[in-house]
């Protein structure tokens, strides 16, 4: 297994992914070497193209962070391209039906489990010449619960063979329900998703702010722009005395 995120989750560890929504390969590389377990490449809410993402993933080919892509939708074209450019995780937004995650598993998997075609792509150069034989064991599918409709069928979503993680989208769950985090009804929905997912033997995901919530092990951290701002503030708060670093020496 070369998907270290899947291995860590199977070993009972927790994983954190930083979010990428800009096409700059240098930013991608910096995030990929920053200590995250994976990178959440945002293609649902960004203008990123698959050509952009292919360049980014290739630029970070020697980095420890595993590329995950939140696809715009669980369509054959989007998932085929995401896997061809080398993603080992497919994040499916707005899951309100079992059929949607079943389609994602089918399109992300080679026969006999799925209908992914061979085609071309940089996946072989990234993950090895035996990629075709190993991909089904390494690619992960993450289904996102963003509405009460999705929460109501969390047990059915988690029961789909090939789904690895069910993710509670905290802010959208509030947006679609009209409830706030901390409200009893909101927390009951989130708890239902967590409990039914764990009962099915799957992992539960959520925002990094929920890292202390019981049962969660897969987290999305903020986007790179947030870390630039925080890093700049931290730098400006440092004492100015000292020896300047040699230009180009910074990782």
Asked whether the beta carbons of 157 and 168 are under 8 A apart, the reply is no
Full set of structural domains in the chain with CATH: 4-231 (3.20.20.60)
Structure confidence by residue, pLDDT tens digits, 141-158:
999 999 999 999 999 999
pTM: 0.94
Residue 205 carries which DSSP code? E
Q: Give dist(CA 163, CA 102) in Å, integer.
A: 8
User: Residue 240: what pLDDT?
Assistant: 66
User: Residue 246: what pLDDT?
Assistant: 72
| Residue whose structure tokens are 């630039």 | 228
User: Residue 241: what pLDDT?
Assistant: 65
User: Residue 238: what pLDDT?
Assistant: 84
For residue 157, give Cα distances in angstroms to 50, 69, 198, 209, 217: 27, 19, 12, 24, 18
| Residue whose structure tokens are 């150069």 | 125
Q: Which segments of the chain have a pLDDT < 70?
A: 239-241, 243-244, 247, 249-251
Nearest to 167 by CA among 140, 205, 200, 195: 205
- Residue 82: count other Cβ atoms within 10 Å of its Cβ: 28
Phi-psi group of 162: left, alpha or beta (phi > 0 → left; psi -120 to 50 → alpha; rest → beta)? left
User: What residues contact 52, with CB distance under 8 A and at least 6 apart?
Assistant: 23
| Residue whose structure tokens are 């993710």 | 167
Asked whether the beta carbons of 40 and 68 are under 8 A apart, the reply is yes
Three-state SS sequence of 47-113: CCCHHHHHHHHHHCCCCCCEEEEECCCCCHHHHHHHHHCCCCEEEECCCCCHHHHHHHHHHHCCCCC
User: Residue 84: what pLDDT?
Assistant: 97
User: Residue 184: what pLDDT?
Assistant: 98
For residue 145, give Cα distances in angstroms to 101, 170, 173, 204: 11, 9, 7, 11
């Amino acid at each position: 297994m070369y998907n270290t995120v899947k291995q860590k989750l199977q070993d009972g560890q927790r994983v954190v992914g930083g979010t990428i929504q800009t096409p700059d390969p240098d930013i991608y590389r910096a995030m990929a070497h920053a200590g995250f377990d994976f990178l959440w490449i945002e293609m649902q809410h960004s203008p990123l193209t698959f050509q952009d993402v292919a360049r980014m993933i290739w630029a970070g080919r020697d980095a420890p962070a595993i590329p995950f892509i939140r696809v715009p939708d669980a369509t054959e074209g989007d998932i085929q391209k995401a896997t061809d450019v080398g993603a080992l995780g497919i994040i499916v937004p707005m899951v309100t039906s079992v059929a949607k995650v079943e389609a994602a598993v089918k399109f992300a998997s080679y026969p006999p489990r799925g209908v992914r075609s061979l085609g071309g792509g940089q996946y072989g150069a990234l993950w090895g010449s035996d990629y075709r034989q190993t991909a089904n064991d390494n690619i992960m599918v993450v289904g996102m619960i963003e509405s009460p409709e999705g929460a109501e069928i969390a047990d059915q979503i988690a029961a789909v063979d090939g789904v690895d993680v069910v993710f509670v989208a905290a802010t959208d769950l509030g947006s679609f329900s009209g409830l706030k985090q901390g409200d009893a009804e909101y927390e009951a929905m989130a708890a239902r998703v967590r409990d039914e997912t764990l009962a099915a033997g799957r992992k539960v995901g959520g925002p990094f702010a929920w890292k202390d919530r019981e049962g969660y092990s897969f987290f999305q951290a903020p986007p790179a722009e947030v870390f630039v701002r925080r890093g700049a503030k931290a730098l400006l708060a440092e004492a100015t005395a000292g020896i300047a670093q040699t230009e180009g020496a910074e990782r």
